[in-house]
């Protein structure tokens, strides 16, 4: 049986909450956690549940098994779709990546193996990417006569620069975790056995801070990247003002002056 959440029964995901951290695990190991429309629908339901649950402060997204985070789109499903159907399914996938990127809570992609095509795009939508030493990354869609369709042409150049992004997209090359770290695609590379514990440690560090400060920092970075520096500074000042008027600000500054640990309430 799947897990019933937000009115959905999950057949393709494992979803559980451990304290303030939600774990979302792509669970189609026999097909290397390939992404189809059913998977994206379940991801949408899981992340909407996370968004709406005030007790959850962060998410770890990973894949089941030891081979793949997600090895791309489900080719069998894609091979029979028309152009109109493909555009519609791509828009659905893009909406899920936008939901993850703008969740207002940190999402760590714990990349445990192949992150190719849609799998790499899913990881790029996350706030932070931690890779196991055996992880591999790539956008090999051109090898199938298509192109990235779940944000790869937009997020990859923003993360690693236009030239490197185009080289990866146009060549379809698959790179190692170490190369992904060198070019800035991933934040850290860790031994496979430490992948989840390191991801949890990062989230615990983030979760010790004010939730409003965390949420609005994510918003400021994401929205600021879409415009000029001047526009981004206006967004930053506006969100800073909201934080400065919050109860969390009063608590944080009072705790600092009293040399005690703060007790943030997220308001």
Q: CB under 8 Å to 209, separation ≥6 — which residues?
A: 264
Beta-bridge partners for 70: 115
In angstroms, the CA 256 to CA 234 distance is: 28
Catalytic residue among 77, 87, 101, 121: 121
Q: Strand runs (DSSP E) across 94-166, as ranges?
A: 107-111, 114-116, 128-132, 136-138
In angstroms, the CA 205 to CA 149 distance is: 33
Q: Strand runs (DSSP E) across the chain, as ranges?
A: 4-5, 8-9, 13-18, 21-26, 58-63, 68-70, 107-111, 114-116, 128-132, 136-138, 174-176, 188-190
Catalytic residue among 42, 141, 200, 236: 141
Q: Confirm if 139 and 123 have CB atoms less than 8 A apart.
A: no
In angstroms, the CA 63 to CA 235 distance is: 35
Judged by DSSP in three states, 204 sits in helix
- List the end-to-end C-alpha distance of the chain, in Å, as a whole number: 38
Six-digit token string for 17 = 């909450």
In angstroms, the CA 127 to CA 24 distance is: 15
Known catalytic residue at 141: yes
Known catalytic residue at 121: yes
Beta-bridge partners for 110: 130
Catalytic residues: 121, 141
């Amino acid at each position: 049986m799947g897990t019933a959440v937000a009115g959905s029964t999950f057949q393709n995901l494992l979803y559980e909450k451990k304290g303030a951290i939600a774990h979302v695990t792509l669970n189609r190991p026999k097909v290397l956690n390939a992404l189809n429309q059913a998977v994206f629908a379940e991801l949408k339901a899981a992340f909407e549940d996370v968004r709406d649950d005030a007790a959850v402060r962060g998410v770890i997204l990973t894949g089941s098994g030891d081979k793949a985070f997600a090895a791309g789109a489900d080719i069998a499903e894609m091979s029979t779709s028309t152009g109109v159907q493909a555009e519609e399914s791509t828009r659905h996938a893009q909406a899920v990546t936008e939901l993850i990127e703008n969740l207002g809570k940190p999402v760590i992609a714990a990349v445990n193996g192949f992150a190719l095509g849609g799998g790499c795009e899913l990881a790029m939508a996350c706030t932070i990417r931690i890779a196991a030493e055996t992880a591999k990354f790539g956008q090999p869609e051109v090898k199938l006569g298509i192109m990235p369709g779940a944000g790869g042409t937009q997020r990859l150049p923003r993360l690693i620069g236009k030239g490197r992004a185009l080289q990866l997209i146009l060549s379809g090359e698959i790179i190692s975790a170490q190369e992904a770290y060198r070019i800035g695609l991933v934040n850290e590379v860790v031994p496979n056995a430490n992948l989840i514990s390191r991801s949890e440690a990062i989230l615990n560090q983030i979760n010790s801070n004010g939730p409003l400060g965390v949420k609005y920092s994510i918003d400021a970075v994401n929205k600021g990247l879409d415009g000029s520096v001047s526009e981004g500074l206006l967004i930053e000042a506006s969100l800073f003002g909201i934080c400065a008027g919050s109860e969390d600000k009063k608590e944080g500054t009072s705790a600092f002056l009293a040399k005690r640990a703060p007790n943030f309430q997220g308001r």
